């Protein structure tokens, strides 16, 4: 236990372009894992959390984006963290367990003692070293990060029951119709290499079965194109459910924040959560100012060093401003993400919104939403290169790329 | 010469503004509405104005005293104890209107704003020698009003047609009359209508003549028309005495700014804006098509259009107020709030955005 030469690797599942359609219109321009939250690509947050794992050997990103879409980021983050980060591209989705199994030889290259598995689209504090400690103590094959949520919201996730004393996973069910538990799966795991045997077990069992299995419609659609040698294996239903109650899987409960980043609205909320985490972990990334020499800042705000912000502007809370953005005199920004090369002209107001790359917001115009992160139009989203003319008001709306708005809109999706 | 101004009731259509002041005292273009009429009457030699009102005039008396000295005119009130329609108030004020001179007297509707070409009206009245003159104005949709059918060459009124379904003419009663004292003999002291009962009778005797009102005309009895009326009024002011309008690089179109109001750096004001006495407009503010009444403060970077900001209200930093938002007296809109058509009663604080037109009690 705790020997200094044992190696740990981390695997982050990043998905691919046919997934994450709910993240449109932002995913029309950028792979979702690279969308900036708190000024850093979404995938950067789990990656920097991995950096804190003792004896971390390598980080693998597994997904089905084209290599070139992630190449630049992967090489720059490797240099920055001084840890090898490799992108492993699947030819098609294999499920998270299937994807892991598919690349087992590469993952096991340096004979790691433990493998972390993280989903890119969850937002949390990733207490990975603590999880590793707990996992070693439990002595099982895997440990799942869990969190307590409200009973009403639990059924959107994988609900699980754990032994209150031993923390063993007793029962697991994905998105149940009726209430099972208010403890849910956070999509962050640690496994011993035995996990590959468990996945292989599921695959071979399936091969043997004549009636294969009850397929979900999604699976049925994809099964035709799936080769016989590689298998679509889901981690939750195919591995966690059957292994529950067999003294192989354990849980580690976090009391920090946790959210799933499925929609642009949630990305704004998660950007805010990461900004407030920076207050503790990386305060140097947050800006301050009182309006004399630099803009007046309220709450947690990230501003890229290349962005220009007029001293008479007031920014925050929960604002992140990306590279080369220009924020004019008397502008007010609250709870928003301003992407690269955006221009916001004098006296404009942006509240609860995401302003897409190269967009231009006119003088005294107003981009606003209710701030209800879960509703479809609860955050106003402007796609790439959207122009909002002077004095125009855009409320609770989504605007697709390359549009010009010269009249006010409310509760609309502009194609 | 004397004049009667038909003030009527509390002006409920102009609420929430009339919850704080009776309608004649509500400011229009930086001046109480009734003062526009009183000044026009004074200018052509009227010496005494009677206000026909149907509520206790106490609240107005101090203001009327002030107007009397300021304008140099005698102002009295004639109070109805029951609603007397549009003609009854004339009978009630009979003794105040008739004197030994035998001169005709003016009757003005207090809701109407125009250029008041009263001098021309006196000449017109003398020229036709009839008993009564009325001002008519051209409208786009005559079917909404009572149409006055007249002989184009002489102006002799033939008949009145209430809300005609078929086109009979496009001139309507503009609510400005010049009447010989003899007209009073035709009106009994009871609820009665001047358009339906009195004028048709005079017309049938060929003694009623109509003059087409030159320039603009607007009934500003409700907020939407009040905002339109300000545009028409300022257009007319531009033609007649443009020196009263504000000038500068921060001004667009016709803007009236009281000399005691302060305007900050980087503002853009206009078109069709009136800013009243003692107002403070801080830097970076955008105002268009709106009225900002006495003692209002508009904080930095706020943006207001097509709205009325009532007396002593404040609009917070980066707030946006638009689309027929009417703030009553002493309303405070917090920083960064959006009001889209909010109608707010006096003494309220608005702390959350009003996204759709609604009334805030």
Name the nearest CA neighbour of A94 among A265, A180, A222.
A222
Q: Which of A346, A349, A393 sits opposite B336 (nearest CB)?
A: A349
Distance CA A24, CA B213 (A): 60
**What backbone phi and psi angles, to 5 degrees, belong to B253?**
70, -150
Q: Which of B266, B301, B336 sits opposite A334 (nearest CB)?
A: B336
What pLDDT sits at residue A227? 42
Decide if B301 and A351 are in contact by the 8 Å CB cutoff: no
pLDDT at A19 over 90: no
A329 near B CB under 8 A: yes
A347 near B CB under 8 A: yes
Q: How confident is the model at residue A210 (pLDDT cuts 50, 70, 90)?
A: very low
Cα torsion angle, B28, B30, B31, B37, sign = negative
Give the pLDDT mean for A331-346: 97
Tokens describing residue A308: 């220009």
What pLDDT sits at residue A234? 87
Identify the residue among B267, B281, B318 best suited for mutation to test binding to A, counting A beta carbons within 10 A and taking the highest: B318
Q: Which of A368, A370, A391 sits opposite B303 (nearest CB)?
A: A391
pLDDT at A62 over 80: yes
| Distances from the Cα of A64 to the Cα of A50, A196, A222, angstroms | 22, 21, 15
Instruction: Tell me how many degrees the CA angle A377-A381-A387 measures, rounded to the nearest 5.
Output: 130
Distance CA B320, CA A277 (A): 33
Cα torsion angle, A176, A261, A396, B315, sign = positive
Q: Are the CB atoms for A299 and A316 separated by under 8 Å?
A: yes
| Distances from the Cα of B274 to the Cα of B141, B259, B269, angstroms | 29, 12, 10
Q: Which of A314, A334, A349 sits opposite B320 (nearest CB)?
A: A349
What pLDDT sits at residue A240? 87
What pLDDT sits at residue B85? 84
How far B267 CA lies from chain A's nearest CA (Å)?
A: 10
How far A349 CA lies from chain B's nearest CA (Å)?
A: 7
Name the nearest CA neighbour of A60 among A113, A129, A116.
A116
Q: Are the CB atoms for A298 and A276 separated by under 8 Å?
A: no
Q: For residue B166, what are the contacts with CB-CB under 8 A and spacing of at least 6?
A: none
Identify the residue among B265, B298, B301, B333 best suited for mutation to test binding to A, counting A beta carbons within 10 A and taking the highest: B301
User: Half-sphere exposure of B140 toward its Cβ, with a 13 Å CA cutoff?
Assistant: 2
Mean pLDDT check: name the lowest of A65-69, A308-312, A323-327, B305-309: A65-69
Name the nearest CA neighbour of B298 among B266, B287, B223, B289.
B287
What pLDDT sits at residue A219? 52
| β-pair partners for B343 | B326, B359
User: Half-sphere exposure of A27 toward its Cβ, with a 13 Å CA cutoff?
Assistant: 21
Give the pLDDT mean for B206-210: 92
How far A226 CA lies from chain B's nearest CA (Å)?
A: 51
Q: How confident is the model at residue A136 (pLDDT cuts 50, 70, 90)?
A: very high
Name the nearest CA neighbour of B85 among B237, B196, B201.
B196
Distance CA A169, CA A143 (A): 9
What pLDDT sits at residue A176? 84
DSSP symbols for A37-53 = ETTEETTHHHHHHHTTS
Chain centroid to CA A267:
8
A391 near B CB under 8 A: yes
Distance CA A158, CA A240 (A): 10
Q: Are the CB atoms for A63 and A89 separated by under 8 Å?
A: yes
Q: Which residue has the tokens 């002209």?
A: A345
**Chain B: residues touching A (Cβ < 8 Å):** 266, 268, 283-286, 288, 300-301, 303, 305, 317-318, 320, 322, 336, 338, 340, 353, 355
| β-pair partners for A404 | A387
pLDDT at A46 over 70: yes
Decide if B338 and A329 are in contact by the 8 Å CB cutoff: no
How far A327 CA lies from chain B's nearest CA (Å)?
A: 14
What pLDDT sits at residue A5? 62
A333 near B CB under 8 A: no
Q: How confident is the model at residue B231 (pLDDT cuts 50, 70, 90)?
A: very high
| Distances from the Cα of B267 to the Cα of A387, B97, B230, B298, B301, angstroms | 23, 50, 21, 11, 8
What pLDDT sits at residue A1? 44
What pLDDT sits at residue A2? 46
pLDDT at B167 over 50: yes
Distance CA A62, CA A98 (A): 11
Q: How confident is the model at residue A231 (pLDDT cuts 50, 70, 90)?
A: low
Decide if A366 and B300 are in contact by the 8 Å CB cutoff: no
CB atoms within 10 A of CB A334: 21
The pTM for the full model equals 0.80
Q: At what angle do helices B118-128 and B33-43 cross, to 10 degrees?
A: 50
Task: Report which of residues A210 and B1 the model is more confident about.
Answer: B1
Q: Are the CB atoms for B285 and B302 separated by under 8 Å?
A: yes
Q: Which residue has the tokens 């003030």?
A: B7
Give the pLDDT mean for B74-89: 87
Distance CA B36, CA B30 (A): 10
Distance CA A88, CA A11 (A): 10
Give the pLDDT mean for A38-61: 95
pLDDT at A4 over 70: no
Task: Report which of residues B227 and A176 the model is more confident about.
Answer: B227
What pLDDT sits at residue A229? 41
* Cβ-based burial of B258 (10 A; exposed 0-12, middle 13-18, buried ≥19): middle
SS3 assignment, position B284: coil
Q: Where are the beta strands (DSSP E) in A46-181?
A: 56-63, 85-89, 114-119, 122-124, 142-148, 158-162, 169-174
| Distances from the Cα of A292 to the Cα of A310, A312, A317, B327, B336, angstroms | 10, 8, 18, 34, 21
Decide if A332 and B318 are in contact by the 8 Å CB cutoff: yes
Query: What is the average pLDDT value for chain A, to the nearest integer?
Result: 89
Q: For residue A52, what are the contacts with CB-CB under 8 A and spacing of at least 6?
A: A128, A129
A366 near B CB under 8 A: yes
Burial B122-140 (b: 16+ CB within 10 A, else e): bebbeebebbbbbbbbeee
| Beta-carbon contacts below 8 Å between A and B | 56
CB atoms within 10 A of CB A232: 20
Decide if A395 and B355 are in contact by the 8 Å CB cutoff: yes
Task: Report which of residues B252 and B19 the model is more confident about.
Answer: B252
Give the pLDDT mean for A169-194: 91
Q: For residue B270, what are the contacts with CB-CB under 8 A and spacing of at least 6?
A: B246, B251, B252, B253, B254, B255, B287, B288
How far B8 CA lies from chain A's nearest CA (Å)?
A: 39
What pLDDT sits at residue A6? 82
What pLDDT sits at residue A208? 64
Q: Are strands B297-298 and B268-269 parallel, antiparallel or unpaired?
A: unpaired
pLDDT digits over B286-296, tens only? Answer: 999 999 999 99
pLDDT at B147 over 50: yes
Q: Which of A332, A368, A395 sits opposite B301 (nearest CB)?
A: A332
| Distances from the Cα of A376 to the Cα of A79, A140, A252, B340, angstroms | 39, 41, 33, 21
Distance CA A345, CA B316 (A): 20
pLDDT digits over B312-348, tens only? Answer: 999 999 999 999 999 999 999 999 999 999 999 999 9
Q: Which of B284, B288, B353 sits opposite A346 (nearest CB)?
A: B284
What pLDDT sits at residue B60? 81
What pLDDT sits at residue B361? 85
Distance CA A127, CA A116 (A): 12
Query: What is the average pLDDT value for chain B, to the nearest integer?
Result: 91
What pLDDT sits at residue B264? 95
Tokens describing residue B316: 């917070």
Identify the residue among A291, A345, A349, A351 best suited for mutation to test binding to B, counting B beta carbons within 10 A and taking the highest: A349
pLDDT at B134 over 70: yes
pLDDT digits over B36-55, tens only? Answer: 999 999 999 999 999 988 87
Q: How confident is the model at residue A189 (pLDDT cuts 50, 70, 90)?
A: very high
Distance CA B64, CA B67 (A): 5
Give the pLDDT mean for A227-252: 81
pLDDT at B114 over 60: yes
Distance CA B6, CA B109 (A): 5
Give the pLDDT mean for B102-131: 92
């Amino acid at each position: 236990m705790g020997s200094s030469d044992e190696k740990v690797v981390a695997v982050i599942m990043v998905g691919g372009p046919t997934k994450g359609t709910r993240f449109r219109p932002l995913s029309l321009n950028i792979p979702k894992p690279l969308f900036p939250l708190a000024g850093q690509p979404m995938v950067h947050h789990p990656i920097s959390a991995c950096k804190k794992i003792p004896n971390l050997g390598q980080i693998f990103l597994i997904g089905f984006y084209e290599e070139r879409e992630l190449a630049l980021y992967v090489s720059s983050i490797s240099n920055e963290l001084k840890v090898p980060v490799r992108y492993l591209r699947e030819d098609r989705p294999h499920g998270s367990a299937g994807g892991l199994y598919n690349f087992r030889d590469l993952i096991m290259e340096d004979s790691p003692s433990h493998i972390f598995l993280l989903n890119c689209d969850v937002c949390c504090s990733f207490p990975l070293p603590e999880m590793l400690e707990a996992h070693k103590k439990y002595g099982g094959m895997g440990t799942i990060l869990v969190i307590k949520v409200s009973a009403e919201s639990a059924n959107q996730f994988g609900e699980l029951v754990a032994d209150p004393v031993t923390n063993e996973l007793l029962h697991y069910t994905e998105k149940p119709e009726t209430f099972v538990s208010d403890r849910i799966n956070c999509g962050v795991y640690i496994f011993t290499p035995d996990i590959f045997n468990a996945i292989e077990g599921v695959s071979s069992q399936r091969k043997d079965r004549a009636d294969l299995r009850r397929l979900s419609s999604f699976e049925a659609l994809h099964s035709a194109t799936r080769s016989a040698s590689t298998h679509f294996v889901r981690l939750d239903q195919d591995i966690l459910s059957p292994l529950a109650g067999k003294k192989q899987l354990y849980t580690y409960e976090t009391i920090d924040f946790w959210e799933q980043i499925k929609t642009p609205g949630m990305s704004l909320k998660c950007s805010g959560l990461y900004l407030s985490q920076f207050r503790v972990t990386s305060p140097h990334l947050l800006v301050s100012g009182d309006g004399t020499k630099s803009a007046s800042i309220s709450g947690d705000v990230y501003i890229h060093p290349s962005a220009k912000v007029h001293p008479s502007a007031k920014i925050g809370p929960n604002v992140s401003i990306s590279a080369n953005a220009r924020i004019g005199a008397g502008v007010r920004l609250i709870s928003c993400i301003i992407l690269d090369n955006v221009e916001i002209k004098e006296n404009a107001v942006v509240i609860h919104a995401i302003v897409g790359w190269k967009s231009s917001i006119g003088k005294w115009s107003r981009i606003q939403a209710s701030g209800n992160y879960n509703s479809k139009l609860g955050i106003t989203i402007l796609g790439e290169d959207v122009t909002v003319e002077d004095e125009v008001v855009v409320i609770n709306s989504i605007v697709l790329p390359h549009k010009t708005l010269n009249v006010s809109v409310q509760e609309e999706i502009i194609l | 010469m004397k004049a009667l101004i038909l003030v009527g009731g509390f002006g409920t259509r102009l609420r929430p503004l009339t919850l704080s002041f009776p309608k004649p005292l509500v400011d229009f273009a930086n001046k109480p509405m009734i003062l526009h009429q009183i000044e026009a009457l004074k200018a052509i030699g009227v010496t005494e104005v009677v206000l026909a009102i149907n509520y206790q005039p106490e609240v107005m008396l101090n203001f009327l005293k002030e107007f009397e000295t300021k304008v140099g005119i005698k102002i009295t009130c004639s109070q109805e104890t029951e609603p007397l329609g549009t003609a009854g108030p004339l009978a009630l004020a009979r003794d105040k209107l008739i004197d030994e001179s035998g001169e005709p007297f003016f009757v003005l509707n207090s809701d109407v704003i125009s250029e008041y070409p009263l001098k021309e009206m006196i000449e017109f009245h003398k020229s036709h020698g009839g008993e009564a003159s009325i001002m008519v104005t051209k409208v786009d949709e005559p079917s909404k009003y009572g149409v006055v059918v007249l002989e184009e060459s002489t102006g002799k009124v033939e008949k009145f047609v209430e809300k005609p379904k078929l086109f009979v003419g496009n001139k309507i009663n503009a609510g400005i009359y010049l009447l010989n004292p003899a007209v009073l003999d035709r009106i009994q002291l009871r609820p009665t209508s001047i358009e339906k009962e009195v004028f048709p009778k005079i017309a049938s005797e060929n003694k009623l003549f109509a003059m087409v009102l030159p320039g603009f005309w607007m009934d500003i009895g409700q907020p939407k028309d009040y905002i339109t009326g300000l545009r028409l009024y300022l257009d007319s002011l531009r033609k007649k005495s443009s020196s009263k309008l504000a000038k500068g690089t921060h001004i667009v179109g016709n803007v009236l700014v009281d000399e005691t109001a302060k305007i900050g750096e980087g503002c853009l004001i206009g078109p069709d804006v009136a800013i009243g006495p003692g107002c403070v407009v801080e830097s970076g503010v955008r105002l268009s098509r709106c009225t900002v009444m006495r003692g209002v403060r508009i904080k930095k970077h706020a943006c207001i259009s097509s709205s009325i900001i009532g007396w002593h209200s404040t609009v917070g930093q980066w707030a946006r107020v638009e689309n027929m938002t009417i703030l009553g007296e002493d309303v405070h809109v917090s920083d960064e709030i959006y009001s889209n058509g909010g109608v707010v009663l006096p003494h309220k604080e608005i702390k959350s955005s009003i996204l759709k037109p609604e009334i805030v009690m």
